Amino acid sequence: MTEHQIENLTAQYGSPLYVFDVQALHQRVALLRRSLPTGVGLCYAIKANPFLLRELCGQVERFEVCSPGEAAICRRLHIPAEAQVISGVYKTPADIERMIAHKNGPRLFTVESARQFTLLSQLSARYRVTIHVLLRLTSGSQFGLEEEEIIRIIRNRADHPFILIRGLQYFSGTQKASLKRLQRELDMLDNFACSLMEKLGFIVHELEFGPGFPVQYFSSESFDEAAFLSGFSAMLTGLRCKAHVTLELGRSIAASCGTYLTRVVDVKRNKGQNYAILDGGIHHLVYYGQRMAMQIPPYRLYPPRLGEAAPWNLCGSLCTVNDILVKQLPVPDLKCGDLFAFSSTGAYCMTEGISLFLSRALPRIVLLMPDGRSLLVRDALPTDEINSPAYERTDYHGTTACNSGGTSARRGLHHLPYADRFALSGFADYPCTGRRAGGGV
What is the full DSSP assignment across 355-369?
TTGGGPPBPEEEEE-
Kindly compute the dihedral angle of the four CA atoms of residues 30, 35, 38, 39, in this order, to the nearest 10 degrees. Answer: -70
Same domain assignment for residues 228 and 276: no
- Percent helix, strand and coil across the chain, each to the nearest 5: 30, 25, 40
Same domain assignment for residues 217 and 319: no
Same domain assignment for residues 194 and 122: yes
In 3D, which of 381, 341, 353 has the Cα closest to residue 365?
381
Kindly compute the dihedral angle of the four CA atoms of residues 58, 62, 63, 68, in this order, to the nearest 10 degrees. Answer: 120
- Mean pLDDT, rounded, for 206-235: 91
> From residue 380, how far is each of 83, 89, 146, 377, 402 by CA, in Å?
30, 32, 45, 10, 22
The answer to whether residue 234 is domain-embedded is yes
Same domain assignment for residues 130 and 221: yes
Residues 377/77, Cβ–Cβ less than 8 Å? no
Helix or strand (DSSP H, E) at 117 = helix 114-126
DSSP state of 215: -
Same domain assignment for residues 167 and 287: no
Q: What is the CATH number of the domain that holds 73?
A: 3.20.20.10
- Write down which residue in 378, 409, 431 finishes a domain: 378
The answer to whether residue 400 is domain-embedded is no
Q: What is the CATH number of the domain that holds 321?
A: 2.40.37.10
Model pTM?
0.88
In the chain, % of residues over pLDDT 70: 87
- Structural domain tally of the chain? 2
Who wins on pLDDT, 36 or 177? 36
The answer to whether residue 11 is domain-embedded is no
- Write down which residue in 255, 275, 299 finishes a domain: 255
The answer to whether residue 387 is domain-embedded is no
In 3D, which of 252, 260, 267, 308 has the Cα closest to residue 286?
260
Q: Kindly report the average pLDDT of the chain as a whole number.
A: 89
The count of other CB atoms within 10 Å of the CB of residue 103 is: 10
Confidence band for 287, pLDDT divided at 50, 70 and 90 = confident
Confidence band for 434, pLDDT divided at 50, 70 and 90 = very low
C-alpha atoms less than 13 angstroms from C-alpha of 388 in its C-beta half-sphere? 19
> From residue 77, how far is each of 81, 258, 346 by CA, in Å?
11, 21, 19
Whether the upstream peptide bond of residue 50 has omega within 30° of 0, thus cis, is: no
The answer to whether residue 384 is domain-embedded is no
Q: What is the pLDDT of residues 63-95, one digit of tens each?
A: 999 999 999 999 999 999 999 999 999 999 999
Q: What is the pLDDT of residues 309-347, one digit of tens each?
A: 999 999 999 999 999 999 999 999 999 999 999 999 999
For the cut 80, the answer to whether the pLDDT of residue 436 exceeds it is: no
Alpha-helix runs per DSSP H in 64-113: 68-76, 93-101
Same domain assignment for residues 246 and 327: no
Same domain assignment for residues 141 and 168: yes
- Write down which residue in 223, 255, 287 finishes a domain: 255
Query: Identity (one letter) of the amino acid at 30?
Result: A
373 is in which domain, residue-wise?
Answer: 256-378
Same domain assignment for residues 35 and 132: yes
